[in-house]
Amino acid sequence: MYVNMCGIIGYIGKQKSLSILINGLKTLEYRGYDSAGVAIFNNGKIDIKKSVGQVKVLEKTVKNNINLNSHIGIGHTRWATHGTPNEINAHPHTDCLNRIFVVHNGIIENYKELKEYLQNRGHNFLSDTDTEIVPHLIEDFLKNNKDFNSALLCTLKIIRGTYAFAIIDSENPNTLYAVRFSSPLVIGVGKGENFLASDSSALIGKTKNVIYLNDGEIAEITKDNISITNLEKQKTFPEVTHLEWDLEQAQKGTYEHFMLKEIFEGPDIVLSALRGRLKNKNLVKLGGLEQVANKLNKTKRLLILACGTSYYAGLIGEYLFEEITKIPTEVHFASEFRYQKEPFEKETVAIAISQSGETADTLASIRKAKEHGLLTLGIVNTVGSTIARETDAGVYNHAGPEIGVASTKAFISQLTILILMAVYLSKSNENSYNNTLLQELKKIPKKMQTILNRSDEIEKLAEKYKDYDNFLFLGRRYNYPVALEGALKLKEVSYIHAEGCSAGEMKHGPIAMISEDFPTMAIVPQNNISEKMLSNLEEIKARGGPIFAIATEGDKRITSLANDTFFIPKTIEPLEPLLTVIPLQLLAYYIGTKRGFDVDKPRNLAKSVTVE
Ligand code: G6P
């Protein structure tokens, strides 16, 4: 099992490439950050610089050269898969002649045998990476009098795995090469200049017009032209997508961290997800689903496929869909579903939820669903991303770029879209329950704001709880996935061991852990299941476990049980997660920062997991 979360950047054009590459790498840093490197043309030859650690270390190393007259270059930020994070293993990698320079995201699965083959043919390797075989293979094919393009094509035909490459060749100073197979790569189309990045967020502020490469496509990019061919040498005609994101959205503004900024964006995120989608009489209009509306009317079963936080949003989706649409719904970890031997019934609809639209397991599971003839839908934030393109139809989140590695605003947005989708799919779109739901949904942004306005209360409680080593998160029904998400958030940014549990299951095991050193975060808003929650909390109290509760304003029952309570406004149960998750996101944020961690870039994690 491999994970890869590196970042690629490339530039060709009128500006000085080095500073563009460094800035691009900084915006991509959330994808991986154990080492970084750049290769640029300088006076007819290619210069390379690499360093271990965050991009700022590389920036320092190249500080004196930042204004070099170089108009083409590639850069990379690495998250190690093959070989320890050191300068030698950092990208770019080159061949024996220092002619061809390659940066790579992904894994080359047959690299060992190819490396041995090349070594037997006299090639000298410096690193432990799989990537290094690529420039050597191209070099080897070039020896057989092949031109660069043919040598590249021959290389692509013998490597196996997943990849996105950016390549420059000393003999072709006016061309930047880009290749994609399973790892995302996007070309930013400029005027007299073009950009390349593994993630469109790195292009914000540079250009709004982008081309997403498809699997098996090779792009030859000059400053004025982009030519794309497939592995059969046929020309393809790419679609130019317009990015909506702007620079301000990709900057921290007055916030200390992206995570905090993104939590505070919650009310706007709900509004953006609702914009243009609520019609008169509270009908929901989802333009992206119109083309498949007839098929959707016949849906007999729903499958939700996702990973991480998106999976937890999916679990809430199951409660929503079953309650509102009455359509049986199952949620699967995409990584499990792709290998499951599942019977497929006709009229099942598969819904992928993904912030990035690039998560490898989610993509693979959607491809599997398609192969079995299912209609596939996407709830995706990144416009034009692979999952957005490969699903039959879908709904965009319009949440703007999410930069913090731990997902916060995307979760809020996904829940909002799931509510809209549930109402859309319920055949009685106009019934009174849906009416109440949508009326209440419209009130959610203001209610969220009242929670955010009291973030200092959570900060104080974070101070009190920050030194515990363990946490149990409890919830029921709609708030059970919130408990899972709250525990995940805390783990991700504070490295505290935290378990999310359905409160009813607590007595079947987790209760054994409870002691005065093991606090419980109880999500217990006032609803028709809260009495059961309160009994569970009695059990914890009886065992001396500290309790921190999230409860509904005015609910006095909790005060005698909990050591600390954070009150939230009342709403109807299906909408509670939109409110209950906010204090949990804030708690994770404050505990993480108080423990001294960089919450925007938690260790070992990455934003977009593009390899299995
Ligand atoms: C990674 C991120 C998580 C995210 C998950 C799924 O693990 O760190 O924050 O929830 O991938 O990502 P997706 O882009 O598919 O929602």
Position 1 scores a pLDDT of 31
Tokens of 142: 């070039």
Tell whether omega for the bond before 92 is within 30 degrees of 0, i.e. cis: yes
Position 2 scores a pLDDT of 37
Report how far ligand 1's centroid is from the alpha carbon of 425 (Å).
26
Report how far ligand 1's centroid is from the alpha carbon of 197 (Å).
19
Ligand 1 atom 5, closest CA = 308
Position 474 scores a pLDDT of 97
Ligand 1 atom 7, closest CA = 308
Position 3 scores a pLDDT of 39
Distance in angstroms (rounded) separating the CA atoms of residues 583 and 553 = 14
Active-site annotation holds for 6: yes
Residues lining ligand 1, Cβ inside 6 A: 307-310, 354-356, 359, 362, 405-407, 605, 607-609
Q: Residue 124 CB: number of other CB atoms within 10 A?
A: 9
Q: Which of 535, 241, 267, 559 is nearest to 399 (CA)?
A: 267
Mean pLDDT across the chain, nearest whole number?
Answer: 93
Q: Is the pTM of this model over 0.95?
A: no
Residue in 50, 115, 409, 607 annotated catalytic? 607
Active-site annotation holds for 501: no
User: What are the average pLDDT values for consecutive 10-residue runs of the chain, which has 612 residues?
Assistant: 68 94 86 84 91 90 83 89 81 96 94 97 95 97 90 96 95 96 93 94 91 95 97 92 82 91 97 90 87 94 98 98 96 94 90 95 96 97 92 96 94 98 81 88 97 98 97 97 98 96 92 94 95 93 96 94 97 98 98 96 80 69
Report how far ligand 1's centroid is from the alpha carbon of 500 (Å).
18
Q: Which of 79, 413, 600, 607 to mutate to test the pocket of ligand 1 (most atoms within 8 A of CB)?
A: 607
The CA–CA distances, whole Å, from 315 to 307, 332, 338, 474 equal 11, 9, 18, 15
Position 43 scores a pLDDT of 85
Q: Which of 366, 405, 484, 608 to mutate to test the pocket of ligand 1 (most atoms within 8 A of CB)?
A: 608
Report how far ligand 1's centroid is from the alpha carbon of 488 (Å).
11
Q: Which of 30, 199, 262, 309 to mutate to test the pocket of ligand 1 (most atoms within 8 A of CB)?
A: 309
Report how far ligand 1's centroid is from the alpha carbon of 597 (Å).
20
Position 32 scores a pLDDT of 58
Position 264 scores a pLDDT of 98
Residue in 6, 206, 261, 601 annotated catalytic? 6
Residue range 369-418, pLDDT digits in tens = 999 999 999 999 998 899 999 999 999 999 999 999 899 999 999 999 99
What would the 3-class secondary structure string for 40-84 be? EEECCEEEEEEEECCHHHHHHHHHHHCCCCCCEEEEEEECCCCCC
Crossing angle for the helix pair 432-452 and 576-594, nearest 10 degrees? 20
| Dihedral-angle region of residue 248 (phi above 0 means left; psi in -120 to 50 means alpha; beta otherwise) | alpha
Say if residues 92 and 74 touch (Cβ distance below 8 Å).
yes
Position 182 scores a pLDDT of 84
Question: What share of the chain has pLDDT > 70, as a percent?
Answer: 97
